[in-house]
Structure 1
Amino acid sequence: MTALPQGSAPGSTADESAEAEVAPGTAQAPAEEPGAAEGAGPGAEGEARTGVEEAEPADELAAEEAGRASEAEPADAAEGVERADEAGGAEAEAGTDETGGPEGAAEPAADAEAAAAAQVSEAAAELAAQRELRARIEQRKAEKDAPIPAGTKLSGTAADLLAAVRAVESGEKSGATFFAGPPPAPRKPAPGPAQEAAPVRPRAPESAQAPATSAEALASVRSVLSRGGAPETLAAQVTGALGEQAAERLGADPWQLLSVPGVRPEQADGFARALLGAECRPDDERRAAALVGWILEQAALRGHTALAADDVRKALAGRSVPDPDEAVQQAIAEGVVLVFQDGLAEEPEPAEDTADTEGAEETAEPVEPVEVLLGLDRYALAEESLADGLARLLNSPVGNDGSVWPEGGELIRAVAGSGLVAHTGGEAARAESAAVVTAAAAAGLRAAGAAHTLDGQRRLAELTGPLAAFTLAGLLSGEGPGRDADGALALDVLVVQDAAQLDVETAAVLVESLADGCRLVLSGDPGVLGPAGAGQVFQDVLSARVCPVVASRLPDAGPVGELVSGIGIGELNQVEAPGKEVVIVPVRDAGEAVHRCVQLLADSIPRAFGIPVEQAQAITVGHGGSAGTRALNAALKQRLNPGPGRFGGFDPGDRAAYAQDLGRTVVGTVVEADAEGLRLDCAGTPVLVPKERVESALRHGWALTAHQAVGMRWPAVVAVLPGDAAQGLNRPWVYTAFGRAERHLSVVHGVDQALPRAVAEVLPAPRTTRLTPLLHGLMKPAEQ
């Protein structure tokens, strides 16, 4: 991604900010507009004066004006309320008549007039006043049908806004005339403890015009990005993250740029400085809220569905937030994050004898500290939905559905009697879970199996038949058995292989797609690398122990299987390999590691084992580095399929790895390119890479990372471990990389003792999730 500015950049001047502060969200109407003319002139002034001078009872005038306001335009309604308020203030003052003198009091005049006035009783004066009042009310009622001079009491910004509304309503001007200007500058919060909290993520201002087209939205976003010194190429990503009103939202809150994947806080800070100038501060509430969301999104990329509140505070302090605790509280109050208290301990009841307070305190049991977790709503809702769905499957009756299952092993018996079963094992155990599909079909049930990758689907189909094997993504997108009238998958039994790759959002969608009474089998290897998305569904289900758990006893075959089985329990054993099934190739540096990898794939393995290069795969720790996938693929292309890279860096015959989705990679051979994109042949399955995704989602595929290789296997694998890869090694990585080999494994070894130490001691950082306690809250742990 193009780098964003990290320092200060020219932004709005102080005068421009002040101008935007004067009239946010309003439009200036020309003086000749009809609505503006109504609010000017002697007539309007006279009516305003009369409204103050007349001393009418507040309740009657308010009721009358309220009736008028309910029938009037929105601006007229506001005027009616204003008049009612004025009447309420006039009630407390002495009323005046139209001549300016006090009502009911005699003017200083001749003695005769004074004497005559003195003879008038108080009742007669009151009746006269009431008759005068009724006459004025009747006059006002008669005027209801006449044109209402709306806006006569409005001035300044309100009058301008009324004039703009009138101009749009009359058709004299379009809404775009008044609402096409730049978004208003965010209002600077005033200091003070009694200040009302401003919205952290303000809504985009509503406008009278129709929603902008995508082209218009992109143009507006490009303009805002340009003003902030950010690359305009981010416009599509910003619009995708923030919606059609992205320009307005970004202008009001520059830190929302952090919602774009790949943007870092220092880059968003530079963008905000360019837009806000001196108003950009590290303690801005908008910045704190955006940082809290960004920290939790980064945690999700590491597999967490929630984080401890203390960890969030520490991360905020590391980003120069002055008061992390206040920032967390503000984010919670504004709904940016949700707060959870798992394992809340009950407080002890107070002692009845208040006199013996000290003794009560000594005998009271200490309250265990409660871990407060923060999470984004998308992952929280997915985990809660998943827990409810799994509990629903467990509680649905399946034992009396009339099906007669054939005799089988422990796994088939468990599936016959439970709506949810977990099954663990290595590569050999895939045959056991596939047998469940066959047994269910024999019992007259609708059954299918799903795998993580196309290669996993191929291997599953060899055991169940092609009509019952799918990829999980294909099954959820409409392939396979279809759906019933309620939208649920038309299945009675579903076996999910590679269940260790289930993230919480995919698992929630899957479980919601299953009808009551459907049996779900989660089958996987708990030793492999975890899912690329947030959560660890398979591990959490195993930990919760709310359903039957069946562990396979089938060992993986051959020397490679024996080696991998030892790694799974933390032992790097030396295995007997009479047929050179496992070969260690020591190297001194990364350059030699690349050379040996190319030699093994292109020459040694095809010649010694008869395995063609198309069926061999290199696996390394990462994409970068002197022996990462980039360096290895460049060397392998030069050796195996040199060419100019006519199609976006690719040539027909190149092996390519296409990241279809997060954590799901397909490997195939480039066939051709056309106007739609690049076409691959993935073991007989055609795959189209759209041209807009070639640059971002396609790499050469002779060398992969272990994360990309999960769910796939090859007859031969070359695991490349250069010296600089030592820090990236742990037991699941080694277990996954070595376990991708079926017949032969070559280890290009340059990490010395780091390899056995990683297998024996280094485990991945634990993921923070909530599925296990949620399941415990819904179900009791099953007796094993």
Structure 2
Amino acid sequence: MSTEPEPTEPSGGGAEETSPAEADAGHAAPETDEHRPAAAAESPEGGGKAEEGGEEAAQLSEAQAELLAQKVERERIERRRAEKAGRVDSGAGLSGRAADLLAAVRAVESGAKPPAAVFADPDPAPEHAPRRPAPEPEPEGERERGPRPVAAAEPGSASPATVEAVRRVLAGGGAPGTLAPQVAAVLGAGAEEVLREDPWQLLRVPGVRPEQADGFARALLGPDCAPDDERRGRAVTVWLLEQAALAGHTALELTALTAALAQRSVPDADTAVQDTLAEGEALVFQDALEEAGAGPAGGGGEEEGDEEAAPPVRVLVGLERYALAEESLADALARIVNSLPKDSPGPSPREGSGESVPRWESVAATASRGAAELIRAVAGHGLVLHTGGEAARAESAALLVAARSLGLGAVAACHTPDGRRRFATLVEAEDSVVTVHGLLSGAEGPGRDSDGALALDLLILPDAPQLDVESAAMVAESLRDGARLMLGGDPAVLWSAGPGRVFADLLAAGVCPRIASRTPDPGPLGELVSGIGIGELGQVEAPGKEIVIVPVRDAGEAVHRTVQLVADSVPRAFDIAPEQTVVITPGHGGAAGTRALNAALKERLNPGPGRFGGFDPGDLVAYAPAPGRTVPGRVVKADADGLHLSCAGASVVVPKERVEQSVRHGWALTAHQAVGSRWPAAVVVLPGDAAQALSRPWVYTAFGRAERHLSVVHGVEQALPRAVAEVPAKPRTTRLPALLRTQVPAAR
């Protein structure tokens, strides 16, 4: 690594302090705010298809197409669950807390309130199986959040009369009228009556906080407004669960939830949770904890205290949409694992495909060592995991080529259009490489058979760490019986922007083969990133200045030097155009966040009046066609139809009313926005006040976006090596491992 010795010039802009909250990288709470602009509230982490199919814009908007695809898949999930032979009666051998919980679950299912005993303080877990507390819901800061866990609603979907009626109610409660379209879209027909009857329903609108909803309720209800109002308790409980989803959790431990409610001035947290469960706005679960040992050394028969030896459980509360997704994902993965006959390396799911043991072996014999190991694993198993860095994608590509040579219907589905482009260069048949969202929406890939399943024998997902639990459930449920699924990716990168940690959970569950690539990423950049992955930030020889460190003293200087690097230094030294360089910073807000950097870069690289929502032709943008997904693009023009973009080679028209919510300037991105793509050069900006936002996955992801050159604008001193060595990914509370171990016990 070298340190760029260029003289420091005055930044001129002053060094406005960035709050730690604004600078948070969001490795647990997604720092992605790609679905909305600076001050707008937005709706986390889902799917959609926008970067391809500009010609479809006249028929369906990107968000509408995505919502339609999700609706179809959820209906399919519901049908599959309803077709199960019958309910499995479980819990007969449970006692104490576990039995109380089971009674609560069944009480809620029958329409009654759960017993209050469920919400008493939990008994201490046995010493040999300590409980792992769920992380608290992420505290809300001034920074912008990732997507909110509610279905995105099309602006303008509510009637003008409804919007106007809502506007009057908002005015009566002192809330800004600009919220009316969002409120009407979220609460639907009769939204004004819903607000009058329960003002705290305002919390369902993205961006609204409890203190704002409290003020609105006081204005509407007057003396009838009280902190112990059960409507407030339910609304804050749901809001906290949504905030937890923003932080990546699919559920919260009961103790964490009640503690967070107490912090939000809910007088009786237990009752608030109980009311929320009784109203069906959340669900309660019991998950058995893994025991450290089977019992006392030496074993033995039943002892006097055996009745106290019931398996320890943790009590979780979660929103129904994530509970359904996680359970459906576990069901679908179990089906994939079990639907492949165990007495052969797989049937030929299609007539005449020619798949057989000798043919699988013959293609494996001609492949490299890593690819051959992967091919043999996929030949004999329905579900396989493949771990490795960027270079390991060549092994996934070899698997795709091998499967297609056997006559199988096989595709690889990448997270981003850029990932699709890079993967397509490794295979001859470009039509066999798609994006995940294009595949699910039907815009790409082979389409679906008469049963609604994808017409595939093998699906390869090279970017599996980016799958949130809902997208993963949609993918798995879309595969027909007998089809194979290979999930690949780099386990060291940031987890999905949406709730869940699907790839990490599968690795932890151990329910299927895991093939680890031995192919290292090449060059100084590969050496640097590989070291970060194992917690080491070492000195790397970079004779071609592949890695340059640019020390700065404050955020203002960081912005100045970043603009200098992108506009002058990198193009001059490496012949890389400014539009081929990505700037990555920990957050959106602050003096060196994406907003400040994009403003400075636009002024230097494409100055203009910004007549259309702040944009001009030639501006680089980050377009969020749907929650949880960012597509880089460029502004072509603006007219009465909206903002015309070129995204991944496709023409996209963003209607005027959607521009503010879904388009940002895109010279500077957050790491979550950049994951899944790579650029010839990357400039990673680390202002001093971003120190506490750094973690090993964030640094690994940000530094790994560069193909040829990496500049690090460094103002965090020892916080960078400390983060790499000591700050792993923040835990997420999920249920998938426990569900998988129940569904696929033989593969443990």
Q: Same fold (TM over 0.5)?
A: yes
**1:696-711 to 2 correspondences below 5 Å:** 696-711=661-676
- Cα drift, residue 275 of structure 1: 1.3
Supply the AA of the counterpart residue of 2:179.
L
**Which of 245, 270, 285 is the matching residue for 2:215?**
270
Q: Distance in 2 between matches of 1:594 and 1:613?
A: 15
3-state SS of 2:745 partner: coil
Q: In 2, are the aligned partners of 1:620 and 1:703 still within 8 Å (CA)?
A: yes
Q: Distance in 1 between matches of 2:641 and 2:400?
A: 38
Q: Structure 1 residues 530 and 345, CA, compared in 2 at 3 Å: closer, same or farther? A: closer
Supply the AA of the counterpart residue of 2:563.
V
After superposition, the CA RMSD in angstroms is: 2.0
- Cα drift, residue 340 of structure 1: 0.7
Is 1:400 paired with 2:352? no
Supply the AA of the counterpart residue of 1:263.
V
Q: Distance in 2 between matches of 1:218 and 1:532?
A: 31
- Cα drift, residue 446 of structure 1: 0.6
Q: Structure 1 residues 3 and 757, CA, compared in 2 at 3 Å: closer, same or farther? A: closer
Is 1:586 paired with 2:551? yes
Q: Distance in 1 between matches of 2:425 and 2:647?
A: 17
Q: Distance in 2 between matches of 1:363 and 1:744?
A: 63
Q: In 2, are the aligned partners of 1:663 and 1:707 still within 8 Å (CA)?
A: no
Deviations 1:653-706 (A, max 9, x none): 111111222231111221111222212223433233222121122111111111
Q: Distance in 2 between matches of 1:458 and 1:3?
A: 32
Is 1:512 paired with 2:457? no
**Which of 567, 570, 579 is the matching residue for 1:614?**
579
**Which of 721, 725, 744 is the matching residue for 1:779?**
744
- Cα drift, residue 604 of structure 1: 1.1
Matched residue, 1:471: 435
- Runs of 5+ consecutive residues of structure 2 not aligned to the other structure: 1-37, 42-156, 292-301, 349-353
**Which of 685, 697, 705 is the matching residue for 2:650?**
685
Supply the AA of the counterpart residue of 2:164.
A
Matched residue, 2:692: 727
Q: Distance in 1 between matches of 2:600 and 2:705?
A: 22
Matched residue, 1:499: 464
Is 1:423 paired with 2:366? no
**Which of 647, 667, 673 is the matching residue for 2:612?**
647
- Cα drift, residue 445 of structure 1: 0.5
Is 1:457 paired with 2:404? no
Q: In percent, how many aligned pairs have the same letter?
A: 68
Q: Distance in 2 between matches of 1:485 and 1:589?
A: 61
Matched residue, 1:764: 729
Q: Distance in 2 between matches of 1:468 and 1:2?
A: 40
Deviations 1:276-313 (A, max 9, x none): 11111111111111111111000001000000001111
Matched residue, 2:322: 379
Matched residue, 2:142: none
Matched residue, 1:334: 279
Q: In 1, are the aligned partners of 2:158 and 2:185 still within 8 Å (CA)?
A: no
- Cα drift, residue 752 of structure 1: 0.5
Supply the AA of the counterpart residue of 2:417.
L
- Runs of 5+ consecutive residues of structure 1 not aligned to the other structure: 5-211, 347-358
Supply the AA of the counterpart residue of 2:210.
P
3-state SS of 1:273 partner: helix
**1:271-350 to 2 correspondences below 5 Å:** 271-343=216-288
**1:433-582 to 2 correspondences below 5 Å:** 433-464=396-427, 465-479=429-443, 480-582=445-547
Q: In 2, are the aligned partners of 1:532 and 1:662 still within 8 Å (CA)?
A: no
Q: Distance in 1 between matches of 2:303 and 2:669?
A: 64
Q: In 2, are the aligned partners of 1:2 and 1:231 still within 8 Å (CA)?
A: no
Supply the AA of the counterpart residue of 2:381.
S
Q: Structure 1 residues 261 and 411, CA, compared in 2 at 3 Å: closer, same or farther? A: same
- Cα drift, residue 367 of structure 1: 5.0
**1:101-120 to 2 correspondences below 5 Å:** none
Matched residue, 1:88: none
Structure 1 residue ranges (4+ consecutive) displaced by more than 6 angstroms after TM superposition = 1-4
- Cα drift, residue 267 of structure 1: 0.8
Supply the AA of the counterpart residue of 2:325.
A
Q: Distance in 2 between matches of 1:543 and 1:695?
A: 40
Supply the AA of the counterpart residue of 2:431.
L
Matched residue, 2:603: 638
Matched residue, 2:569: 604
Q: Distance in 1 between matches of 2:312 and 2:441?
A: 44
3-state SS of 2:680 partner: strand
3-state SS of 1:463 partner: coil
Query: Please, what TM-score do these two structures have when normalized by structure 1?
Result: 0.70
3-state SS of 2:610 partner: coil
| Structure (1/2) with the larger helix percentage | 1
3-state SS of 1:244 partner: coil
Matched residue, 2:174: 229
Q: In 2, are the aligned partners of 1:597 and 1:718 still within 8 Å (CA)?
A: yes
Q: Distance in 1 between matches of 2:201 and 2:308?
A: 47
3-state SS of 1:282 partner: coil
Supply the AA of the counterpart residue of 1:410.
E
Q: In 2, are the aligned partners of 1:597 and 1:748 still within 8 Å (CA)?
A: yes
3-state SS of 1:293 partner: helix
Matched residue, 2:679: 714
Q: In 1, are the aligned partners of 2:375 and 2:399 still within 8 Å (CA)?
A: yes
Deviations 1:617-669 (A, max 9, x none): 11111111111111111111111111111222111111111122223111122
Q: Distance in 2 between matches of 1:597 and 1:734?
A: 17
Deviations 1:573-600 (A, max 9, x none): 1111111111111111112211111111
Deviations 1:709-756 (A, max 9, x none): 000100111111111111110000000000000111111111100000
Q: Distance in 2 between matches of 1:634 and 1:330?
A: 47
Q: Structure 1 residues 574 and 675, CA, compared in 2 at 3 Å: closer, same or farther? A: same
Supply the AA of the counterpart residue of 2:463.
D
Q: In 1, are the aligned partners of 2:158 and 2:188 still within 8 Å (CA)?
A: no
Q: In 2, are the aligned partners of 1:545 and 1:781 still within 8 Å (CA)?
A: no
- Cα drift, residue 782 of structure 1: 3.4
Q: In 1, are the aligned partners of 2:695 and 2:729 still within 8 Å (CA)?
A: yes
Aligned length: 564
Matched residue, 1:34: none
Q: Structure 1 residues 344 and 588, CA, compared in 2 at 3 Å: closer, same or farther? A: closer
Supply the AA of the counterpart residue of 2:175.
A
Supply the AA of the counterpart residue of 1:240.
A
Q: Distance in 1 between matches of 2:335 and 2:310?
A: 34
- Cα drift, residue 469 of structure 1: 1.1
Deviations 1:309-361 (A, max 9, x none): 01111111111111111222222222221111100799xxxxxxxxxxxx976
Q: Structure 1 residues 745 and 274, CA, compared in 2 at 3 Å: closer, same or farther? A: same
Q: Distance in 1 between matches of 2:408 and 2:674?
A: 33
Deviations 1:123-146 (A, max 9, x none): xxxxxxxxxxxxxxxxxxxxxxxx
